[in-house]
Amino acid sequence: MAKHLLAPSPGNATFLTVGSLHFDGYLKDVEARTALGILSTRQEELDELSDRARNEFLEQAGRFVDSVRASIFWGQVKKRLLAEDGHPGQKLFIREMPSRGRRDDFLAGRADLPVRVAPAFVIDSGSSILRQVVARLEGEGSAAAGGRERQIIVIPDHSQVEEVASAGGAPRIVKLKGLREALLEPS
């Protein structure tokens, strides 16, 4: 699944390991530890754990498996924000920004015009995930900067969701390939 998400084009799967995903910034430390635990823990070792420890491990493993694609997409967005490809000398301001979501948002863009960027791994046009991210940003944005904070929800390039320009204070929705350009546009 992740091999295809990170492939440069459809049908060209790439080789990856937990270590490579962690080293390249696609997985955070805790996610990499959980993934290694999933791959390296034998049934006998699970059986030896207390009920509490086993349930905790299985719960963490379940959460990781449920959200690994979103975690990798978050890392992909971060890499795109840090890259200068096609924009030599145009480095973006970027920092992680705590959010009420599972993953941090980013504050990114030009230093004089930062934008809140919320990665959302949304493929289907009727996704409840997108509605949740929009609602979260609208709630948090109304409290931030007197409701004037620019916000972008970034989705995968292969998403069925259409890009949407910001209107009436709603967050703008852009595909990953257009993120840098959206950040560099004047408000």
Return the exposure string of 72-102: e unless at least 16 CB atoms fall within 10 Å of the residue's CB, then b. Answer: bbbbbbbebbeeeeeeeeeebbbeebebebe
Confirm if 120 and 133 have CB atoms less than 8 A apart: yes
Distances (CA, A) of 114 to 7, 19, 107, 108, 183: 30, 32, 6, 5, 8
pLDDT attached to residue 174: 96
Question: What tens digit of pLDDT does each residue of 16-71 get?
Answer: 688 888 888 888 888 889 989 988 999 999 999 999 999 999 998 988 888 888 88
Q: Which residues are CB-neighbours of 60 under 8 A, at least 6 positions away? A: 34, 37
Spans of all domains in the chain: 2-80, 88-184
d(CA 17, CA 154): 25
- Give the number of residues written for the chain: 187
Q: What percent of the chain has pLDDT over 90?
A: 27
